[in-house]
Amino acid sequence: METKEAINKRVSVRHFLDKQITENELQTLLKAGSKAPIGMSKYQEMHITVIQDKNFLNELNKAAEGYFKQKGKRLFHGAPTGIIVSGKKTNYYDMEYDNGACILENIHLMATDLGLGAVYLKGVVAFFSDNPEYLKRLNIPKDFTILAGIAIGYPDKEYPPKDHNIEYNII
Ligand SMILES: Cc1cc2nc3c(=O)[nH]c(=O)nc-3n(C[C@H](O)[C@H](O)[C@H](O)COP(=O)(O)O)c2cc1C
């Protein structure tokens, strides 16, 4: 798939098949994340955590139901793979969040290219920040902050591209 096609086809998918992505697909996604631009090239100050353990995901889902007070709520929308990006706090206008977004968008576009479904998740930050017992189990490096996440799996159906518009001005 060409870059243009992947960008045009990317949508948020929140319903997944009960089937894990392949190791090869996971490695391709992680490589795409690692190729993201990172401010001041501080790649060693960013980290990616992959959650695929079914028992842990089930535990998180149960806890998420209570935390979000929403019956049936699942932390990663029921995806078999959840990815969390964390980073060391920078002294430069919260640049760690920009870095995290670059990594996650690369992963989302690569997921689209591979025919996988994905959705960017900020909600996981609130959940893990307010539930430190689960945050601890992510084993993120010391002094790193959780920035955002993404849910990934095979989509339950085909999702058509969307047409979004952001207003702009040219000076
Ligand atoms: C920074 C950011 C945070 C987001 N957080 C969530 C989230 O917590 N839960 C969720 O279901 N979708 C989340 N989304 C997905 C957006 O809702 C989605 O991208 C938007 O509605 C546009 O739809 P599309 O991605 O299908 O084009 C987030 C997207 C971004 C960029």
pTM above 0.85, yes or no: yes
Indicate whether residue 121 lines ligand 1 (CB < 6 A). yes
Does residue 12 contact residue 119 with C-beta atoms inside 8 Å? yes
Mean pLDDT of the chain: 97
Q: What is the three-class DSSP state of 147?
A: strand
Residue 118 Cα to ligand 1 midpoint, Å, equals: 10
Indicate whether residue 162 lines ligand 1 (CB < 6 A). yes
Does residue 83 contact residue 152 with C-beta atoms inside 8 Å? yes
Residue 78 covered by a domain: yes
Residue 164 covered by a domain: no
- The torsion angles phi and psi of 66, rounded to 5 degrees, stand at -70, -45
How much of the chain exceeds pLDDT 70, in percent?
100
Residue 16 covered by a domain: yes
* pLDDT confidence tier of residue 97, bands split at 50, 70 and 90: very high
28-56 average pLDDT score = 98
Atom 13 (ligand 1): residue with closest C-alpha? 121
Q: Which domain holds residue 141?
A: 3-153
Query: Residue 26 has which token pair?
Result: 């996971």
Residue 121 Cα to ligand 1 midpoint, Å, equals: 6
Residue 122 Cα to ligand 1 midpoint, Å, equals: 8
In this predicted structure, the answer to whether residue 62 has a pLDDT above a threshold of 80 is yes
DSSP 51-109: E--HHHHHHHHHHHHHHHT-TT--TTTT-SEEEEEEEEPPSSTTHHHHHHHHHHHHHHH
Atom 31 (ligand 1): residue with closest C-alpha? 120
Residue 46 covered by a domain: yes
In this predicted structure, the answer to whether residue 1 has a pLDDT above a threshold of 90 is no
Residue 133 covered by a domain: yes
Helix-strand-coil split of the chain, %, nearest 5: 40, 20, 40
In the chain, the amino acid numbered 45 is E
* pLDDT confidence tier of residue 65, bands split at 50, 70 and 90: very high
- The torsion angles phi and psi of 150, rounded to 5 degrees, stand at -150, 140
6-20 average pLDDT score = 98
Residue 132, domain CATH = 3.40.109.10
* Residue 116 CB neighbours (<10 A): 24
* pLDDT confidence tier of residue 14, bands split at 50, 70 and 90: very high
User: How many domains in the chain?
Assistant: 1
84-101 average pLDDT score = 98
**pLDDT digits 0-9 by tens, 105-145:** 999 999 999 999 999 999 999 999 999 999 999 999 999 99
Name every residue whose Cβ is closer than 8 Å to that of residue 59 and which is 6 or more positions away in sequence: 134
